[in-house]
Structure 1
Amino acid sequence: MDFTEIYKQSGNLASFSPGAHFILNVVENTLIVRRTDTLQITRTWTITAPSSTASILSNSKSIPPEGWISHAGWSCDSEYLLAASAKKGIVEVFKLRDENWNARIEAGVEGLLKAEWAPDGRHILCFSQWGLRVTIWSLVTGNATYIQFPIHPDRGYAFRSDSRYFILAERHRSKDAMGVYDTTDCYKLVRHFPVPTSNLSSLALSPTGNHIAIWEGVLEYKLHILSLAGDVQGTFSPKPNPGFGVRNAAWHPTGMFLAVAGWDDKLSSKIPAGATLWREPSNWLETTQGRGFLSYERLQGPQTISLQRTDPTKPNPKSGAVQLEWNKTGTLLLVRFENCPTVVHLYDFPASSDPFVPRLRCVFQHSKPVLHAQWNPVRKGSLALCTGSGSIYTWSDEWIGENGVEEDMAECIGVPANTKFETRSIKWAPDGKGLVLLDKEVFCCAFEVEDDAES
Structure 2
Amino acid sequence: MDVSAGTGAPLSLTLSDDGLFASHIQGKDLVVYSNVASENKEVQRENSKETSVKLLKFSPGKNQKFASSNRRLLSSNNSRISIWQLDQLHLFAEIENLELGTLNIEFGADENEILVFHAWNTKMTIHSLNTGRSSMIKSPKSAYHLGFGYRPQTKHFAILLKPEASDLLTIHEPHSYETINKVTLPTNDAQGLKWSPDGRWIAVWDAASSGTKVLIFTADGQLFRTYNGPAEVDDSFDLGIKYIEWSPVGKDGISHTLAIGKVNGNIDLLRTRTFTCSTTLSHVFPHDQVSPTIWRERSTSALGDAEYAETTSSSAFNMSPESSGPPRGVQIMTFSPDGTLLATVDTMRPNVVWVWSQEDTPRLVSALVHEQPVRQVAWNPTTPQMLINTITNNLPTIRWWSPHDRPVIARVPTQKNETGKYEVKWLVGAENDSTFWFASTEDR
TM-score bin, normalised by smaller chain = 0.7 to 0.9
- Which residue among 157, 162, 166 is the counterpart of 1:171? 162
Structural mapping, 1:213-232, within 5 Å: 213-221=203-211, 222-232=213-223
Question: How far off its partner does 1:16 sit?
Answer: 4.5
Which residue in 2 is equivalent to 1:286?
Answer: 303
Question: How far off its partner does 1:204 sit?
Answer: 1.4
Which residue in 2 is equivalent to 1:296?
Answer: 308
- Which residue among 209, 212, 226 is the counterpart of 1:235? 226
Is 1:318 aligned with 2:327?
yes
Counterpart CA distance in 2 for 1:433 and 1:309 is: 30
Structural mapping, 1:74-153, within 5 Å: 74-76=59-61, 78=68, 79-85=70-76, 88-106=78-96, 108-109=98-99, 111-153=101-143
Question: How far off its partner does 1:216 sit?
Answer: 0.9
Question: How far off its partner does 1:213 sit?
Answer: 1.0
Which residue in 2 is equivalent to 1:262?
Answer: 262
Q: Given the superposition, is the C-alpha separation of residues 115 and 295 from structure 1 closer, same or farther in structure 2, using an over 3 Å criterion? A: same
Question: How far off its partner does 1:368 sit?
Answer: 1.1
Asked whether the 8 Å contact 1:120–1:163 carries over to 2, the reply is: no
Asked whether the 8 Å contact 1:269–1:305 carries over to 2, the reply is: no
What's the TM-score once normalised by structure 1's chain length?
0.78
Q: Given the superposition, is the C-alpha separation of residues 95 and 306 from structure 1 closer, same or farther in structure 2, using an over 3 Å criterion? A: same
Amino acid at match of 1:343: V
Which residue in 2 is equivalent to 1:438?
Answer: 439
Where 1:346 maps in the other structure, the secondary structure is: strand
Question: How far off its partner does 1:304 sit?
Answer: 4.4
Is 1:33 aligned with 2:32?
yes
Which residue in 1 is equivalent to 2:251?
Answer: none
Counterpart CA distance in 2 for 1:17 and 1:204 is: 18
Asked whether the 8 Å contact 2:170–2:182 carries over to 1, the reply is: yes
- Consecutive unaligned residues of structure 1, counting only runs of 5 or more, are 50-62, 289-293, 398-406, 444-455
Paired-residue identity, %: 22
Counterpart CA distance in 2 for 1:299 and 1:316 is: 28
Counterpart CA distance in 1 for 2:401 and 2:416 is: 26
Asked whether the 8 Å contact 2:244–2:261 carries over to 1, the reply is: yes
Counterpart CA distance in 2 for 1:309 and 1:300 is: 20
Amino acid at match of 1:114: N
Counterpart CA distance in 1 for 2:44 and 2:366 is: 44
Counterpart CA distance in 2 for 1:414 and 1:342 is: 19
Amino acid at match of 1:147: I
Counterpart CA distance in 1 for 2:264 and 2:27 is: 40
- Which residue among 387, 390, 395 is the counterpart of 1:387? 390
Counterpart CA distance in 1 for 2:247 and 2:355 is: 15
Question: How far off its partner does 1:23 sit?
Answer: 2.9
Structural mapping, 1:35-50, within 5 Å: 35=34, 36=36, 37=38, 42-45=43-46, 47=48, 49=50
Where 1:158 maps in the other structure, the secondary structure is: strand
Aligned length: 399
Where 1:199 maps in the other structure, the secondary structure is: coil
Counterpart CA distance in 1 for 2:28 and 2:263 is: 38
Asked whether the 8 Å contact 1:282–1:367 carries over to 2, the reply is: no
Which residue in 2 is equivalent to 1:452?
Answer: none
Where 1:280 maps in the other structure, the secondary structure is: strand
Q: What is the RMSD computed on CA atoms of the aligned residues? A: 3.0
Q: Given the superposition, is the C-alpha separation of residues 284 and 26 from structure 1 closer, same or farther in structure 2, using an over 3 Å criterion? A: farther
Which residue in 2 is equivalent to 1:8?
Answer: 10
- Which residue among 232, 245, 253 is the counterpart of 1:250? 245
Amino acid at match of 2:410: I
Question: How far off its partner does 1:256 sit?
Answer: 2.2
Counterpart CA distance in 1 for 2:443 and 2:163 is: 43
Amino acid at match of 2:247: H
Where 1:2 maps in the other structure, the secondary structure is: helix
